[in-house]
Amino acid sequence: MNNSEKPWSKATVRRTFIAGIFAFLPLAVTAFILWWVDDKTVGYTDWFFHRRIHFLGVVLTLVAIYAVGMVTNSLVGKYVLRIVDAIIMRLPVIRLFYQGWKQIALTPGGTEGTFSRVVLIPDESGTMKLMGFSSGRIVEADEPSYCVFVPSSPNPITGRLYFIRAERCQFIEMTTEEAFKVILSTGNYVPRLLPAKDPPVLHGNFV
């Protein structure tokens, strides 16, 4: 806050209120999820142990999610996922929905999802950069290009889709979660913008 700004001025109140919203929302969502899981699982503890043990279901759910993650990252898990993927892709109706979801899904460590990589691209004037997401796959065109989705801030549901020449894309060492924090905080949270260690670009040049 500038020294010239009054503590109860309209701009100060609005900025403080927005900061409070972004600090409160993650806590509220986390608390709701914990309450919902506990509410749905506490009945099973009464059935098994003849007493209601709160949050035991939450702990078991976290353990199950971690176990699924370990299996998914293992060689056996990846092999099973490939088999399941091949089976679903042969189903007539479900295949369309499944394939569409794969194009926008977050794929851990993969390059299929639109949000797999964080990238900076030049704006129309060429004087500024826009932060967006890309699958990291080259689009076959007259010139090798990437398809980049640039979300709006602070509402990342909407945005614009760009096809940018590969050499003008700067992939950065930032996770999808960090990028969404930047967008949702409207720039209040900005980590270091370091070039990606393994950029899927043709020449690796910055814009």
**Taking 70 as the threshold, does the pLDDT of residue 63 lie above it?**
yes
Q: What is the pTM of this model?
A: 0.48
Q: How many CA atoms lie within 13 A of 91 on its CB side?
A: 12
Question: What pLDDT is stored for residue 206 in this prediction?
Answer: 39
Question: What pLDDT is stored for residue 111 in this prediction?
Answer: 47
Question: What pLDDT is stored for residue 207 in this prediction?
Answer: 40
**Separation between Cα atoms, residue 139 and residue 171, nearest integer Å:** 16
**Separation between Cα atoms, residue 107 and residue 114, nearest integer Å:** 9
**Taking 70 as the threshold, does the pLDDT of residue 46 lie above it?**
yes
Q: Which 8-state DSSP code applies to residue 172?
A: B
Would you tell me how many other CB atoms lie within 10 Å of the CB of residue 150? Answer: 21
Q: Per-residue pLDDT averaged across 62-87, rounded?
A: 80
Q: Per-residue pLDDT averaged across 18-25, rounded?
A: 73
Residues 108-124: tens digit of each pLDDT: 444 456 788 899 999 88
Residues 22-32: tens digit of each pLDDT: 677 778 888 88
